[in-house]
Amino acid sequence: MVEEILQWLKNISIFLIFMTTVLNLIPEKEDKKPVQFFLGIVMVLIFFQPVLKAGGLEQKMAQTLDRLTLEEEAAAMENVQIRAESFEKQYYVGAWEKETERQIRMYLSESGIPGAAVSVTLEPGNTGEAKEIRIEAPMRQTSIYREEQKKQREMLDEKLTEIKSVLSEVYGTDPAHIMVEISE
């Protein structure tokens, strides 16, 4: 009887050391929850092992532990899958926005407006439509006379208005959501 109690205490102390080590090795708080749940159930089983042996309930508790562990693992896997899908979607949307910005910059350069800063925000979901497009076009002043500068600015403004309508059509964006600024 004394040997069984000593073995039981030894099992508890070894398990507590093991549990502390495992929990300290897991970096993410979300990843610790299923492990803590599982280790907590095992700890309860170890604490009540003598009582369970005496009552013959050890087998039933093992089956319950298996079922609870399986349910917790399924919930944890679902959570991991949701996080992975969210990360994947953010990555693809970011890459898609960068590619759209690159295409618009190329189009602006081909249209005679090189060096424009472009920022694109895509609609949530997989529609491919741009929610907002911001363009900051540099004003290249080739003249020192005000009248000529004014005429250049008007020409650039007209060209940007045309480009705005083309971008609206191509990217399915409301023209009110395409912001165009001319920087001096």
Decide if 113 contacts 137 (C-beta within 8 A): yes
Same domain, 14 and 79: yes
User: Could you tell me the end-to-end alpha-carbon distance of the chain, in angstroms, rounded to an integer?
Assistant: 91
Same domain, 84 and 118: no
Domain's final residue, options 88, 105, 133: 88
Query: Does residue 136 lie in a domain region?
Result: yes
Query: Does residue 107 lie in a domain region?
Result: no
Could you tell me the pTM of the whole model? 0.53
In the prediction, which pLDDT does 45 show? 81
Q: Around 144, how many Cα atoms within 13 Å sit in the side-chain half-sphere?
A: 0
Same domain, 74 and 117: no
Query: Does residue 147 lie in a domain region?
Result: yes
What pLDDT digit, counting tens, does each position of 85-138 carry?
888 777 888 888 898 889 889 988 888 888 889 988 887 665 667 788 888 888
Cα–Cα dist 83/39, whole Å:
24
Residue range 136-162: average pLDDT? Answer: 79
In the prediction, which pLDDT does 157 show? 84
Residue range 70-91: average pLDDT? Answer: 83
Decide if 32 contacts 23 (C-beta within 8 A): yes
What pLDDT digit, counting tens, does each position of 3-17 carry?
888 888 898 899 899
Query: Does residue 146 lie in a domain region?
Result: yes
Number of domains in the chain: 2
Tokens 């917790």 sit on residue: 72
Residue range 36-43: average pLDDT? Answer: 86
78 token code pair? 């679902």
Query: Does residue 100 lie in a domain region?
Result: no
pLDDT of 30 above 80: no
pLDDT of 156 above 90: no
pLDDT of 67 above 80: yes
Residue 116, burial from CB neighbour count under 10 angstroms (0-12, 13-18, 19+): buried
pLDDT of 82 above 70: yes
Q: Domain containing 27: what range?
A: 2-88
SS3 at position 73? helix
**Quick one: how far is CA 29 from the chain centroid?**
17
Same domain, 38 and 81: yes
Q: Pairing mode, if any, of strands 117-122 and 178-183?
A: unpaired
- 145 phi/psi in degrees, rounded to 5: -90, 135
Same domain, 71 and 6: yes
- Residue 134, beta-bridge partner list: 119, 179
Residue range 172-179: average pLDDT? Answer: 84
